[in-house]
Copies of this chain bind each other. A is one copy, B any other.
Amino acid sequence: MTPLPAVDSPVIAELHAALPGRVTTDPSGLVALSTDKSGHRGEGVPLAAVHAQSVEDVQQVCQIASAHRTPVVTRGAGTGLSGGATAGAGEIVLSLERMDQVLEISEGNRLAVVQAGVINGRLDEHLAPHGLWWSPDPASKDISTVGGNIAMNAGGLLCAKYGVTRESVLALKVVLADGRLLEVGHRTVKGVTGYDLTALMIGSEGTLGIIVEATLALRPAVTGDTPTLGAVFPSIVDAAAAAAEVVRAGHVPAAMELLDRPCLDAIAAHTGKELAPGGQAYLLLQHDGAAALEEIASTAEILARHRAQLTHATDQADSERLFALRRLMFPSLQALGSLLIEDVAVPRDRLAEAFAEIRRIEEEFGLSIPTAAHAGDGNLHPTFTFTGEIVPPQIWEAAGRIFEMALAMGGTLTGEHGVGLLKRRWLADELGADQMDLQQQIKAVFDPAGILNPGKIFTP
């Protein structure tokens, strides 16, 4: 382990002087701020943590960090699953949690301007009285920040219909590594002046700049019925094939969530609720919009043809109860031990094949790999449980096999959780040497000294 820095570090002294009352150097506080929901952490204890309260605070941190070439690891609520916000010895943790203001809601422009630290779910509470809604809907939405959602280009349950975070961001204010404030994007719906640096920042995991403020594209709130059904299947492959058929037939459910038997067992053990009695897989499907009732009748027919037993939610409360159980899947798995949550995506017509292959890998390695999927967009979360803090090599090997499968199918290592620390060793397999090189050159344009979240996305 790298030794702790001397407490008389000039960086700490400068931070205290510039940001009085906003700097933490207490080791236990620092340890808590050095990890995310991946459970991983950097080596050693960070130098200091700064709880920024303004754009100027962030600029000050970057100026001091640049002058001393000290790394800065930005974090929101620390709910990431890829180790993107882990920090270690010699690094400044920059928390944006206190920058949590909704600065503007414009009905006429259907947009909101927010600070990076606002919690996604709390933003929706602000928007609801205006009949508006920000559609990015990661399962963590009640605890994750908008800035974190943007930095990771978060997905969620509604992406097949409503798109990922990138599609709901108009403009950003970004503090650059040297402390300059950059504004990218537009307050308008359209805008094509030069390269799309807004999209470049979205999903850049704190490595190109620090997103401090965002102008968000909103949608009119969904009104009317949101009919919901649960479908119990005799096998996960039947369920995946049914979901793929729903897509092929031209339907666009608001959500289509798939859980396999090990996920269902974990939820049952944790909550006492068995979602799929007598079945091997469960599909939770919801439609919204003016044709929702007709659409659910039509998708129900497709599911029934694939041997599903269907139960329609009786009312909104029943529907919410089913989605709440789905959102409890990761907490239910966490009750079993430490987790490595994977996040591959495959082309939608290969979902059944992907599940079959995961079952094969389970057998080969003698592991249980509970796997949920956002079935409308082909995004799977194969999850490994283990004891202790260190992922066993055998689990990495099995995870590596799943990555290879996804790439061989024309898919991706990470649909929505990001590369962070956990997937960087496979990144070149997906991107290829030429793209890796271009991406690293872009990193160098924005952060020539390499102080922004070093070691994330790219292996140092």
Contacts and interface: CB of A to CB of B under 8 A. Distances in A.
Interface of A: 106-110, 131-132, 152-153, 155, 159-160, 163-164, 166-167, 176, 180, 182-184, 186-197, 199-200, 202-204, 208, 220-221, 244, 247-248, 250-252, 289-291, 294, 345-349, 374, 376-379, 410-419, 423, 427, 430-432, 434-436, 438-439, 441-443, 445-446, 457
A377 B109 CA distance: 9
A193 B418 CA distance: 6
Contact of A191 (B131, B194, B345): B345
Nearest to A379: B190
Nearest to A223: B250
B191 A196 contact: no
Copies in the complex: 2
A379 B106 contact: no
User: Taking chain A's interface residues, is the majority helix, strand, or loop, or is none over half, making it mixed?
Assistant: loop
Contacts of A153: 192, 196
Given A417-B192, A435-B182, A109 B348 contact: yes
A414 B167 CA distance: 19
A61 to B, nearest CB: 18
A194 B410 contact: no
A57 to B, nearest CB: 20
Contact of A190 (B204, B220, B412): B412
Contact of A431 (B106, B193, B244, B250): B193
Given A188-B379, A191-B345, 19 more contacts: A108-B244, A159-B190, A180-B434, A182-B434, A183-B432, A188-B345, A188-B346, A188-B410, A190-B345, A190-B378, A194-B435, A195-B203, A195-B204, A195-B439, A196-B199, A196-B202, A196-B203, A438-B446, A442-B445
B435 A197 contact: yes
Contacts of A188: 345-348, 377-379, 410-412, 415
Contacts of A186: 345, 411-412
Contacts of A250: 107, 131-132, 220-221
A423 B414 CA distance: 38
Contacts of A190: 155, 159, 164, 345, 374, 377-379, 412, 415-416
B347 A187 contact: yes
